[in-house]
Copies of this chain bind each other. A is one copy, B any other.
């Protein structure tokens, strides 16, 4: 069927066209079916949407991507032919029915995800099939490889590449900004890509952006690493494992994460990592609650790593309260700069030292812990951090006072004597985000007391910083309402009362 082009100037990643209902009927296609478009030698498979009035019979509406790909002009005629769904849809159906997939089937699916040839419904089905019938190691390895190979890769021309990843969940964790310079200062190569916060008050990329630019192109990253052995950049600016973005869009509203391991390791694979340390924060208030869970996850990472040609060590670390005292991009960047000489908060320093020494152990460096401490305290780590800042386009002489923090500031004091018994990660995250983090870089929380500290009535427990007055008000309201920090003379035993309700009876009546 020949149809006249109507450019829609709409953006969508997928190749979408809009047909009139009658033309679609003539072609025998339904919404989300595919058609092949032809003009001269150009060909493209597009996904069909259908309109009754917006597109007239005889016309075809083209989204910008399709128009560009076909180089189509308004009013030009396109040949439109019904097209079979991609072969990978068959593999998705097979997986949905509970069957396992072969490596080449998985790579075909990932290829079609990246090329945007599968609809939202179809990708959702694939993600849920992995959630319902857990992946085998063989599938996970194939998935990791396929995800790495369908994106950009960083080729530094050497084999010994080191890397670090945190499973996340604990606020204030700026370990990477210490670890990367330590490791690079020892002469090891560590091209670290990090994420921005999605549901947290700050990601490493958000923190680092207070010190220097983090949105570098692949070629620029190479230069930084060649010059300094390391980098601290935003992974989102380069297209490593792009299939992951499509999956995250689906996992996020459903609160499921069946691809955790391939998602992490495909990105490590894409930068050529050979030796990787994985931090698994463990405890109440983070994703991994118990030592047993941490061990199981660690063993899975190690096994999958082996299949991918990576040596992996994991560290289960205490995740029950924030790391350090600062929460929010600028406050954490300040804390990192203050800590890089080894004088920072003991928990942050301890964590950075342990994780760095695991990477040193891979290299066979003796007395790795002492070596790490020496690099920190001698100023070599700070020198390296400033080199990296400069190489990424920042000011190597940056001082703590140069990092702007929110002008609005409220100090919260204790109304009792006692000790800090616990701090709630989730409440800390909620308050810091309400104050404006990570979007407002200067917003966040600065703790004065942490678990185990002795508190006297009137002592400052923490400060909230914000850039805007209404966000400060919102943060204060939430801080007051939520169980944020517990100070008292002793542990309170009652957590919550759950009174009897008669509701259940009524529910069963509904059934009749």
Contact = CB atoms under 8 A, between A and B. Distances in A.
B85 A11 contact: no
A96 B256 contact: yes
A121 B122 contact: no
A132 interface: yes
Contacts of A92: 254
A52 interface: yes
Contact of A124 (B11, B93, B124, B198): B124
Interface in A123-157: 124-125, 128-129, 131-132, 138, 141-142
16 contacts: A10-B10, A10-B54, A11-B53, A11-B54, A25-B439, A26-B439, A93-B254, A93-B256, A122-B254, A124-B124, A124-B128, A125-B254, A128-B132, A138-B511, A141-B511, A142-B511
Q: How large is the interface on A (under 10, 10 to 19, 20 to 34, 35 or more residues)?
A: 35 or more
Contacts of A122: 253-254
Given A52-B11, A125-B128, A104 B510 contact: yes
A471 to B, nearest CB: 11
A246 to B, nearest CB: 11
Contacts of A252: 30
A256 B94 CA distance: 11
Contacts of A433: 28
A507 B131 CA distance: 25
Interface in A413-459: 433, 439
A19 to B, nearest CB: 12
Interface string A47-58: 000011110000
A103 interface: yes
A11 B51 contact: yes
B119 A121 contact: no
Interface in A84-117: 85, 89, 92-93, 96, 102-104
Given A26-B439, A103-B510, A439-B28, A121 B54 contact: no
Contacts of A254: 92-93, 96, 121-122, 125
Contact of A120 (B85, B121, B511): B121
A102 B252 CA distance: 25
Given A104-B507, A104-B510, A32 B93 contact: no
A93 B11 contact: no
Given A102-B510, A103-B507, 12 more contacts: A25-B439, A28-B439, A96-B254, A96-B256, A103-B510, A104-B507, A119-B253, A120-B124, A121-B254, A122-B254, A124-B125, A125-B254
A89 B93 CA distance: 24
A129 to B, nearest CB: 8
A121 B510 contact: no
A51 B30 CA distance: 26
Contacts of A89: 253
A108 to B, nearest CB: 13
Given A52-B11, A253-B122, A439-B28, A103 B138 contact: no
Given A28-B433, A120-B124, A510-B104, A253 B85 contact: yes
Contacts of A54: 9-11
A328 to B, nearest CB: 15
Contacts of A103: 507, 510-511
Contacts of A367: none
A249 interface: yes
A187 interface: no
A64 to B, nearest CB: 8
Interface in A285-307: none
